[in-house]
Amino acid sequence: MAAATRTLSWLVPAAFLAAMLGVPLATIAAHALGGPEGVGPLLRVLGDPYVQAVAAFSFEQAAYSALASVALGVFWAWVLVRYDFPFKRTLLALSVVPFVLPAVSAALGFVIAFGRQGLVNGALMGLFGLE
């Protein structure tokens, strides 16, 4: 019975991800490639020298950014582990900010759009003549 439970413990999330990610992506791909010309338009776009140059530049910049981020991250991690210095705890606390900031900015976006003085609320109040 334990083997069946272990199998279900990964099978259920995998099926959920397949349904929530795989089905929409497959549908989009089918609509994009299922036209009368098939994959012809996609191959024309991918064969365009301008698109290839832009893609190559994007990949190159992504590689440089990743290398620079890893180099800086490993260096600062080494410094923080090896040495004690003033404000070390503050620096460690600030290193968490990039992980928290997306949630804060998303919440701020909802407040700006839907809050008491938000854009949507202001438009609806103007539309219905409310104060």
- The contacts of residue 52 (CB under 8 Å, 6+ apart) are 46
Per-residue pLDDT of the chain (131 residues; tens, 9 = 90+): 577 777 778 888 888 988 889 888 888 888 888 878 888 888 888 999 999 999 999 999 999 999 999 999 999 899 989 999 999 999 888 888 888 888 888 888 888 888 888 888 888 888 888 87
d(CA 64, CA 62): 5
> Do residues 114 and 120 touch, judged by C-beta distance below 8 A?
yes
Q: SS3 for 39?
A: coil
pTM: 0.51
62 half-sphere exposure, CB direction, 13 A CA radius: 6
- The contacts of residue 91 (CB under 8 Å, 6+ apart) are 80
d(CA 98, CA 23): 32
Structure confidence at residue 125 (pLDDT): 86
Structure confidence at residue 1 (pLDDT): 58
Structure confidence at residue 29 (pLDDT): 86
> Do residues 118 and 111 touch, judged by C-beta distance below 8 A?
yes
Structure confidence at residue 50 (pLDDT): 97
